[in-house]
Amino acid sequence: MEEHSFPLNAWYAAAWDVEVGRSLLARKICGKPVVMYRRQDGAAVALADACWHRLLPLSKGELHGDNVICGYHGLEFDDTGRCVYMPSQDTINPSACVTSFPVVERHRFIWIWPGDPALADPDLVPDLHWNDDPKWAADGKVIHVMCNYRLVIDNLMDLTHETYVHGSSIGNRAVAEAPFTVSHGEGRATVTRWMADIDPPPFWRAQLGKPGNVDRWQIINFEAPATIAIDVGVAPVGTGAPDGDRSQGVNGFVLNTITPETESTCHYFWAFARNYRLSEQARTHELREGVATIFREDELILEAQQKAIEENPDHIFYNLNIDAGSMWARKLIDKMILEENSAKAAAE
Amino acid sequence: MKGRQEWRGAVVTRAQSIADGIRLIEFAVEGGLPPFEPGSHVSVEVMIEGAPAIRSYTCVSSDAGHIRLAVKRHENSRGGSRFMWTLVEGARLRITLPENRFALSWRASSYLLLAGGIGITPIYGMAKALSVRARPVRLAYAASTRGELAFAGELSELMGTDAEFFVSEEGRRIDLAAEFAELPPDGEAYICGPLGMLNAAKAAWAATGRPSSRLRFEVFGDSGERPEVPFSVEIAGIGKRVDVASDQSLLDALNAAGVDMIWDCLRGECGLCAVDIVELNGELDHRDVFFSDEEKREQRRMCTCVSRLAGGSAIIDTGYRKS
């Protein structure tokens, strides 16, 4: 049986909604080459990106109505992946079809299910509603990161690194010094960190627009296998944020969902959502570009880490207390993989 | 051009009759077996008159690590089913890992499954998988006699009234037009059965105006409108005469006679083994799905892997030119 570091029976973000349109977009998802496009009625389609006949990627062909025409010999496939035209013959070989992946468009992402299509329940799409909720203003990007997707999850499940990787923007000593708590449930893990009465880092000072010390929070919500919504914000000290009254503060959500591409590369989809100054489109733009700059710092670390892992194949990770969140995430992912493999083994 | 097929050793763990003319043969496969989907098939190395030959059989849903095949004994078997029927528990042979070219989409709002005779083999697994996962599904399963229905008990138990049986001896036939009319517009139909049933279904489906891609079928290429009888062909440009026995395909006979041929699917799908008919002194029994009805009526070409003459002779042209 093939061993992967990721489950296949899960929804993975394959693209931002705006990336998929009336042209062919090729992207590898969980090791599977996929071609995506929209039908004339707007519905997104994801087909295996290899022609049934001679395996030329269909993405090198063209879109014709709701169908894809292979760019080699003109075989035409409809949006269900069935061949509907073959050159120089009157009939169509009954075996001719390519895989059509289950697709759901939600929270501004195109989600696909690379595993057993019979299990693809749209209710299981991870919750990233902040990305298109009118009470929030959000935008983001996708980064092609040259590392295993779990390294990105490690990175997000422990924000101690902010102090060292993002010292000039969102990190300061307080993050590395504050204690945190970890909880876990079915397919979920949460790391909560409150930093009481601190001098906010420059980024948060600017977002709050008020002087003085703050109470700062970071609540990292992991949803297996690869989605992390981080509830972040600051409120003037003494206004009751730790007790649930955030009304005097500013609240953001860092939305992350990471899609394995191969064992050593991934597509990292992220967005930043805020619940203040919703109509300021310029702020939305600036936040997106600002976060992109911050994440570029992570990207350099992650790629260097992946390279070092490959250069030290026998070295096993040491874990620290700060890794509790990522250890829970890994345990929950491993559980999904184990269940998937044992279901496969027991399958009729 | 298929990917490499992986051959494995296999041992027969069960061989028993499950319906009139149908034997269930179960194999344990060496080195483990990945789970396979309904609609999958395997190739089996059979022995025909002491020589190995390869035959393809659809897998019936099986217990983990096992492959089950339901094999119908054909009166004019080319030797494949005759060999399979000789298998007893403990017999060893070689088999490929399952491959699927008749997969369920899992994308339709509802499914209509149509089976005729031994065509139940892929349909049974589909019915089971869809029912277990509570998808809307109806099965219409036709056979000549009640005794020829395989898996009828299991299917009734699993599907209740969603499984209906049509025994022609009892005067009941599937009303294809009515079945298709009941299927919602985005429903899909999957059919496996004899060529006559398939052709009737294709025509009825076309008449509904539904997209042809929502009717999926698998063919065995082993049934036609006429019985298998010996015939002969003469090959234009070579001058060789080849006799084809009733249990032999034209392609096998040509190969045995040293006539250079190309082929791939051996089920009448790909059209690679087709030859031109120069002169016909007999009746053609087209058994392929490669040629259209119109092309079949023209009687200018035939697929040698499955199609034959219902007696008589023909002059064919394999495309060989001396210079």
Instruction: Identify the CATH number of the domain in which residue B266 sits.
Output: 3.10.20.30
Nearest to A118 among B106, B270, B291 (CB): B106
In-domain check, residue B322: no
One DSSP character per residue, B174-210 reads: --HHHHHHHS-TT-EEEEES-HHHHHHHHHHHHHHT-
CB–CB contact A348 B61 (8 Å): yes
Same domain, B294 and B260: yes
Same domain, B206 and B294: no
Q: Which residues contact B244 (CB under 8 A, 6 or more apart)?
A: B230, B231, B232, B233, B250, B253, B308, B309
A143 beta partners: A268
B45 beta partners: B54
- Region B283-311 average pLDDT: 95
Domain boundary among B186, B218, B250: B218
Question: In this structure, what is the dihedral angle of CA atoms A149, A100, B126, B99, given to the nearest 10 degrees?
Answer: -80
CB–CB contact A346 B295 (8 Å): no
Same domain, B262 and B300: yes
Residue B64 vs residue B167, higher pLDDT: B167
- Using a CB–CB cutoff of 8 Å, tell me whether A80 touches chain B: yes
Question: Is the pLDDT at B230 greater than 90, yes or no?
Answer: yes
Q: What confidence category does residue A1 fall into, taking pLDDT thresholds of 50, 70 and 90?
A: very low
Question: Is the pLDDT at B77 greater than 70, yes or no?
Answer: no
CB–CB contact A94 B106 (8 Å): no
Same domain, B177 and B242: no
CB–CB contact A345 B102 (8 Å): no
Nearest to A1 among B34, B105, B213 (CB): B34
Q: Give me the pLDDT at residue A348, please.
A: 43
List the one residue out of A64, A49, A28 whose CA is nearest residue A98.
A49
CB–CB contact B295 A90 (8 Å): yes
Q: Give me the pLDDT at residue A168, please.
A: 78
CB–CB contact A91 B107 (8 Å): no
Best A51, A95, A119 residue to mutate vs chain B (most B CBs within 10 Å): A95
Residue A211 vs residue B3, higher pLDDT: A211
- Using a CB–CB cutoff of 8 Å, tell me whether A2 touches chain B: no
- Using a CB–CB cutoff of 8 Å, tell me whether A282 touches chain B: no
Question: Is the pLDDT at B1 greater than 70, yes or no?
Answer: no
Domain boundary among B184, B218, B252: B218
Taking only the tens place, the pLDDT of each residue in A141-165 is 999 999 999 999 999 998 888 888 8
The residue segments making up the domain with residue B87 are 7-100
Q: Which residues contact A236 (CB under 8 A, 6 or more apart)?
A: A208, A210, A212, A213, A214, A215, A248, A249
Question: Is the pLDDT at B222 greater than 90, yes or no?
Answer: no
Percentage of chain B exceeding pLDDT 90: 78
Q: Give me the pLDDT at residue A347, please.
A: 57
Edge-first strand listing for the sheet containing B308-317: B241-244, B231-235, B308-317, B274-285, B301-303
What is the domain-level CATH number for residue B180?
3.40.50.80
Residue with the two structure tokens 């119109």: B294
A85-to-A75, A255, B295 alpha-carbon distances in Å = 6, 42, 17
CB–CB contact B269 A93 (8 Å): yes
CA distance A2 to B47: 34
Sign of CA dihedral B289, B290, B293, B299: negative
Rounded to the nearest integer, the mean pLDDT of chain B is 92
List the one residue out of B157, B160, B154 whose CA is nearest residue B138.
B160
- Region A309-330 average pLDDT: 90
Q: Which residues contact B225 (CB under 8 A, 6 or more apart)?
A: B195, B196, B285
- Region A266-284 average pLDDT: 97
Same domain, B192 and B154: yes
Same domain, B120 and B214: yes
Is there a cis peptide before residue A225, judged by omega within 30 degrees of 0?
yes
CB–CB contact A91 B62 (8 Å): no
CA distance B46 to B214: 35
In-domain check, residue B323: no
Percentage of chain A exceeding pLDDT 70: 98
CB–CB contact B213 A84 (8 Å): yes
A256-to-A225, B6, B66, B161 alpha-carbon distances in Å = 12, 41, 42, 48
In-domain check, residue B1: no
In-domain check, residue B174: yes
- Region A312-339 average pLDDT: 91
User: CB atoms < 10 A from the CB of B102, how many?
Assistant: 23
Range in A116-130, A162-176, B48-62 the model is least confident about? A162-176
Nearest to B290 among A82, A84, A91 (CB): A91
Range in A315-324, B12-21, B193-202 the model is least confident about? A315-324
Percentage of chain B exceeding pLDDT 70: 97
Q: Which residues of A touch B58 (CB under 8 A)?
A: none
A137-to-A97, A287, B14, B275 alpha-carbon distances in Å = 42, 10, 64, 67
Taking only the tens place, the pLDDT of each residue in B249-290 is 999 999 999 999 999 988 899 999 999 999 999 999 999 999
Please give the domain boundaries of chain A with CATH numbers for all domains.
12-123 (2.102.10.10), 129-339 (3.90.380.10)
List the one residue out of B137, B102, B22, B13 whose CA is nearest residue B63.
B13
- Using a CB–CB cutoff of 8 Å, tell me whether A89 touches chain B: yes
Same domain, B27 and B89: yes
Same domain, B213 and B247: no
- B161 CA to chain A: closest CA distance, Å? 23
Same domain, B79 and B60: yes
In-domain check, residue B2: no
- B169 CA to chain A: closest CA distance, Å? 30
Same domain, B95 and B115: no
Question: Angle B241-B246-B248 (CA atoms, 0-180°, nearest 5)?
Answer: 70
**Which of A342-346, B81-85, B98-102, B122-126 has maximum average pLDDT?**
B122-126
Question: Is the pLDDT at A343 greater than 60, yes or no?
Answer: yes
- Using a CB–CB cutoff of 8 Å, tell me whether A91 touches chain B: yes
Residue B220 vs residue B299, higher pLDDT: B299
Residue with the two structure tokens 């190969």: B255
- Region A72-91 average pLDDT: 94
Q: Give me the pLDDT at residue A346, please.
A: 64
Same domain, B154 and B179: yes
- Using a CB–CB cutoff of 8 Å, tell me whether A173 touches chain B: no
Alpha carbons within 13 angstroms on the beta-carbon side of residue B262 total 6
CA distance B315 to B236: 6
Query: Residue B315 has which token pair?
Result: 């002059």
CB–CB contact B291 A90 (8 Å): yes
Q: Give me the pLDDT at residue B221, please.
A: 67
Question: Is the pLDDT at A344 greater than 80, yes or no?
Answer: no
Domain boundary among B100, B125, B152: B100
- Using a CB–CB cutoff of 8 Å, tell me whether A345 touches chain B: yes
Query: Residue A149 has which token pair?
Result: 């997707």
CA distance A167 to A169: 6
Q: Give me the pLDDT at residue B76, please.
A: 66
In-domain check, residue B89: yes
- A347 CA to chain B: closest CA distance, Å? 6
CB–CB contact B269 A94 (8 Å): yes
In-domain check, residue B167: yes
Same domain, B50 and B80: yes
Strands (E), chain A: 12-16, 25-29, 32-38, 44-48, 62-64, 67-69, 76-77, 83-85, 103-106, 109-112, 137-145, 180-185, 188-198, 214-223, 227-236, 250-262, 265-274
Query: Burial, A124: exposed, middle or buried (Cβ in 10 Å; 0-12, 13-18, 19+)?
Result: middle
Total number of domains constituting chain B: 3
Q: Give me the pLDDT at residue A229, please.
A: 98
In-domain check, residue B247: yes
CA distance B60 to B80: 18
- A84 CA to chain B: closest CA distance, Å? 7
CA distance A103 to A195: 41
Could you say which DSSP state residue A13 is in? E
Provide the terminal-to-terminal Cα distance of chain A, rounded to the nearest Å.
16
CB–CB contact B62 A345 (8 Å): no
Backbone torsions φ then ψ of B80, nearest 5 degrees? -65, -55
